[in-house]
Structure 1
Amino acid sequence: MNASAKNLPHSLRMTSSGFTLIELMVTIAVLAIIVGIAAPSISTQLANQRVKSTAATLANALKEAKVESIIRRQNITVLYDTSNNSNKIVLHTGITSIPSTNIASYNVDKQSVITQKISPSTETSIAFQPNKKIVGGATVAYTICDSGSNSETPKQVKLTNIANVNTISAGSC
């Protein structure tokens, strides 16, 4: 007994091939429901990933500034530059806000927002000294948020007066 489609009459072969319009519509509707449920979760995950990436970039920039100040035996300043429609972290020599020699530049995602809280508030910028301390004995808390979403978990990069860098999940946007 051979049960192949070639042995069936022509009228039976034509009726059993393909999907009906109803089957396709039901399948598309089920897929649309699944995508509708998953989309908010995916956008939150993307926002969280941007925040984590920016926090890691900032922590690496601060650690590099600390090491460079020791190697070069001079003060290294860290600036968060938002001028010219760019988001970047710039390391340069000296302790002024006007860069004298740029050492490194780190690009940050345009949707990332970094707020800086320096204590004592008399300090306006962060400069690392070759003796592994911060100029003025300042402590800093950088809070990183995502401007595209309010549901992400903010990260904080904390810098102690002895230049230790810690990243934690804290703060508010």
Structure 2
Amino acid sequence: MSSVRFRRLTSTEARPHADALGELLAVCVAGGASVSFLAGLEPGRASQWWAGQLSADDGRAIIVGEDETGLCGVVQVIPAGPENQPHRGDVAKMLVHPRVRRQGVGAGLLREAEAAARDMGLTLLVLDTVTGGDAERLYARAGWVRVGVIPQFALSTDGRPEATTVFYKALAQ
């Protein structure tokens, strides 16, 4: 993982990355990643989805991992919207390209997301992930607290209902 660089995209840098992020999303979904999309996601449609995320004016942080080949990972930290939750955020759409899996990129993205959340003044993060998947083990190893499992929460990429595990992490300031 020494060749992977992590950085937070600024709003002006983010928009030109929509196509690369769309390709990353499409590759991950094609590989079975359950991240809100079903199999057959075309890179163009994935790029359009990312364009919407990148134009959101909600204070989110978008952190990418890049290596000599290009974009190899991404994660978002999205501040909670309600007035009574200014301290909380969601970790969303953490994606790691299959070519760099099991090389520490996911752990690096998660560390960077937590650091960005602290910079944003957030003290509590929440996320959900497919029960039994690699990401579930990653979050547990990184000190996230498992809240529980919701059965049949979403459809897998092939359309089967699957459970999700909810985690949270309190951040020291």
TM range (shorter): under 0.3
Bigger Rg, which one: 1
TM-score computed with the length of structure 1 as normaliser:
0.27
- Structure with the larger helix share: 1
TM-score computed with the length of structure 2 as normaliser:
0.27
